[in-house]
Structure 1
Amino acid sequence: MNFRFQNLLGAPYRGGNAVISGNSLLISPVGNRVSVTDLIKLETVTLPCESSSNISRIAVSPDGSFLLTLDENNRCQFVNLRRRIVLHRMLFKKPVSAIKFSPDGALIAIGVGKLLQIWRSPGFRKEFFPFQLIRTFADCDASVTALDWSPDSNYVLAGSKDTAIKMSSYALVSCTLHQVLLRRFRITHNLSLDGVLDYLNSKKMTEAGPIDLIDDDNSDVEEGIDKQTRGKMGYDLPGSMPNRGRPVIRTKCLRIAPTGRCWAAATTEGVLVYSIDESFIFDPTDLDMDVTPEAVDDALAEDQPQRALLLSLRLNEDTLIKKCIVSVKPVDIKAVALSIPFKYLQRLIEAFADLLESCPHLEFILRWCEELCKVHGHSIQQNSRSLIPALRSLQKSITRLHQDLADTCSSNEYLLRYLCSTGSKN
């Protein structure tokens, strides 16, 4: 696709995040007000609602009815976006770094310092205090920087800014339905990054605590602390050590896939993708310099189908796996099936399901399936949940093949009967 610049709309941008509502409205803060740009009509409107200071964060409800704005003075406004009026106001005690509506619009996740708070969305209700705090999670090691909800609104993903407050940086997954912390994901083990340590050095201990754990955020205005930079971390502090330009680990953005089965995090070390679908996981620890397509071809040339099949499964190349399956002699199928580890069964069964739809050697593939089930029947039964998708695909292929063969045999039978009856009459 070829994209090109079309038009310049809106007013000067002064910071804050921009969001898109309904695939047609671009909403962005402009100073202490909010600008709404219609991307279809190419029109820009500035909302009449004003904040006491520049707006730093905004969030829009999934249906596009409400707008939540937060300014630099921690003042929050809940705006009816369609009528362009302020419905509710609220003041937070600490700076808010991230906000996000849940997909169902009933909850709002807000990052307040190191805390992750879950609030009930006010909506159109007329109450004395419409904002209701449901739960506060204090599991982040530093200020929350990114938030995202699961498609079912049951889980919220929170990434925090962690320099040297703790030994490592994590992304936190919290369950708002049961109100518990489910799991921590460590996003780096790179000790060359600033703030990533496995053991504390007692030599850097001072009266105020470890020198590397002293916060140097811009919010600190004490003399000496506010002058610290990453190049000169220990400004005016005795016994401090400079950063020497090392990058700081950060989680800048989090997004969960619409299916809810994988999510991605943009960090200092790159984009990290987590998934619960094992078929999409690439495990480089199972590879070495000898595992190559050329090694598979060499094994087949040396009449070693067992080794060739194992190498192709480790490479996870579909064409190589099918090539090795077909190259096995019928008398060697049972011996080769015995050598297949359980972790490769799912990939092998998926290959059988594809071959049954395109390969002419039907009896050969069905014999492969029979021997594999006989050899690994107990393992398949014990781990049926993880193998259900592959087994269902194989069952569908076999059922479809059986129906096609049944129709062909029936037509041939009727044709033979007709030929026999006409021959006897003559």
Structure 2
Amino acid sequence: MNYRFQNLLGAPYRGGNVVITQNTQLISPVGNRVSITDLIKSQTITLPLQSSSNIRRIAASPDGTFLLTVDENHRCHFINTARRVILHRINFKNTVNAVKFSPDGKFIAVAAGKLVQLWRSPGFKKDFFAFELVRTIADCEDTVTAIDWSLDCKYLLVGSKDLSARLFCVEKLKDGILNKPFLFLGHRDNVVGCFFGYDKKNTNKVSKVYTITRDCYIFSWGYSGNNDGNFDENDGGISEPAFPGTPERDGEGNMDSGSVGTVKKRKDFDGKDEGYLHKEKWELLRKDGFMQSPAKLTACDYHRGLDMVVVGFSNGVFGLYQMPDFVCMHLLSISREKITAAVFNEIGNWLTFGCAKLGQLLVWEWRSESYVLKQQGHYFDVNCLTYSPDSQLLATGADDNKVKVWTVSSGFCFVTFSEHTNAVTALHFMANNHCLLSASLDGTVRAWDLFRYRNFRTFTTPSSRQFVSLAADQSGEVICAGTLDSFEAVLASSSWDKTVRLWDVFEGKGAVETFPHTHDVLTVVYRPDGRQLACSTLDGQIHFWDTIDGLLMYTIEGRRDIAGGRLMTDRRSAANSTAGKCFTTLCYSADGSYILAGGSSKFICMYDVADQVLLRRFQITHNLSLDGVLDFLNSKKMTDAGPLDLIDDDDSDAEEGVDKQTRGKLGYDLPGSMPNRGRPIIRTKCLRIAPTGRSFAAATTEGVLVYSIDESFIFDPTDLDMDVTPEAVEEALDEDQPNRALIISLRLNEDSLIKKCIFSVSPLDIPAIASSVPYRYLQRLIEAFSDLLESCPHLEFILRWCQELCKAHGNSIQQNSRNLLPALKSLQKAITRIHQDLADTCSSNEYMLRYLCSSNNK
């Protein structure tokens, strides 16, 4: 039962900035989690860490070791990316609009409201006060929107909503001169981005500054070397003084009314005199417009090596410009929605764009004009999901009318079917693993070919119906679908008439057996062997029926187990509320020994069927940006107009994310009837356990959560004795007794010892040792073979073991197939994957040999 969070699929990108580390690792926020995509291997993982609400800003250290995340509640996590653990936490008092590590990784600049705070970057050691505040800059008159470091970490460029950018010297001047910033003036809208430009001959020397504004203009600044503190109209600059208005404040907030034109010199590390950049005379070299009015500029980035700027606009257009001559390289449209993220990779050959409105992230190679990555989650809630028979694929259907098929191991969606015209409600994989069925509210059941990626058959009814359930026999000859409006059903059906009915498809039209209940039946599911039926009712109970004798076997009372979480519109606490205290989706394990149950709650419950006890309860999220997560109402957020979170403040500058869905097209199963002002309600719509039993997936408001059994070592001996020790295993191997060593390692149930004993067996001795393995250790041995096939190169050796086990224990495996089914499915999955890889390799080699032979003949 050691299921742990593994990955998050189908969740859309909801906004926030993205970063690229090590040139190929794309890090992006997904709700209150962080997703890391390897652009070379085409794999994506989601860190098993959660923030208290949706993540707003992220920053990565230069070497990619550390990751800083800040959520909507201003709470910050300092994460070790490799180990996937949170090292430190800190809370900021104001909204964080920008955060960035210094190029040497020693400092972190945080734009919190009007302040810019410089923090010393924590390390691997867990300290009580890990974050050390080095300096606070309070010169900006409005919210800070952009930050950039110079390569030598001595200067900081800050842009804000006060229509100006400022150049700060990070170090305190040792000669007592107050550290006043230089102001870049003349902007007519908020500064969206500000960047240091560098000399082409000396890439470490700052030679220019670029400031980009929301009204689609870019300003290029350079310094002439004059240090009089004022601009000269004849020089093409702005006639306003460098330090206008009232006396400036230094970095500590102290007032100064002294001379602003005095310039001091300092000695750099080589002993040479060097002028301070913020004391130089900067002048406006040129001002260029992107010509996208009335659209607004919403995202930008600069690559210092290529001297190029990429910008994104609110109309979905992005542009790539060569500086300093402002030459347009590309001007293309991604969509009609606002681009919320635009960033270069380290080399500068890839551009990453994010569109929060569409929930889309894409990576574009601008030289070849081709996509490196184009991933998009489901726009609305996922309604249904299903595993392929070999557990390698996962299909999802959602309210956005789309069916997506994902590779479980990589977390990538490799095909999207969009032929349905209404919400997809049910999915089913055929036994051959190459055909997928989907049912929809548009009144069709479609069959999809996973080889050619096409819809090769469509089933409809004589009269218009909305399908909400789907089933098929093993041969694929009979497909059955249930409807929403007329309650027409086949096989086993649950209904609001408080009954579960079994139907004879071929012999007659009426029900042959009726299982009565005292409350409305919400869902029904068969045990894999077909000998038991489980159904949930509106009163929060799960009933188990014997399908052969028609008798009620067990009943589980689950109202208290699934209860938890209150809506913002509720007038009572979660303990006193009756809404959502029932299960709307059930799923048996592969061997039928336990069952998963979920519904309109933040919990997923796992029950032991035979003993009717709660084994585990999974909380699917701690994201406070969703409704139904908290158990108690925070009185601090109550106002005369109602809960503070439900009041629309009409903030036009806020990022627009994916439309929040509070009631789907299957709205009858959602609690509450009052509008929730865009706060999505946490719930589980569908649960499926992989045929291997090693993982299960849940279709939730957050996306598709995948949980798998932790691969790390867990000491769980099966038959322990005084003589059963690791030393005894080593002693048996030294005495050339592989049979005895293998039995002892299986009794210890230690993975490393079992694999060591397997490889110590000579190929000639495999038949004898395989026949001597007791049946009670067979499952553990098969699981070890499944794991070895995924990683070790000795394919023929492992397959020989599997063959001899089947020969020696064939009858026992057939008689106890239900207990061994998860292990056998895992073995089948591993063998199928290797077979596919070898088939692809052999085909490629065959074509290559044919080509070489034909070339030699010519």
TM-score (norm 1): 0.47
Structure having the larger proportion of residues in strand: 2
Higher relative contact order (CA closer than 8 Å, sequence separation 6+): 2
Structure having the larger proportion of residues in helix: 1
TM-score (norm 2): 0.24
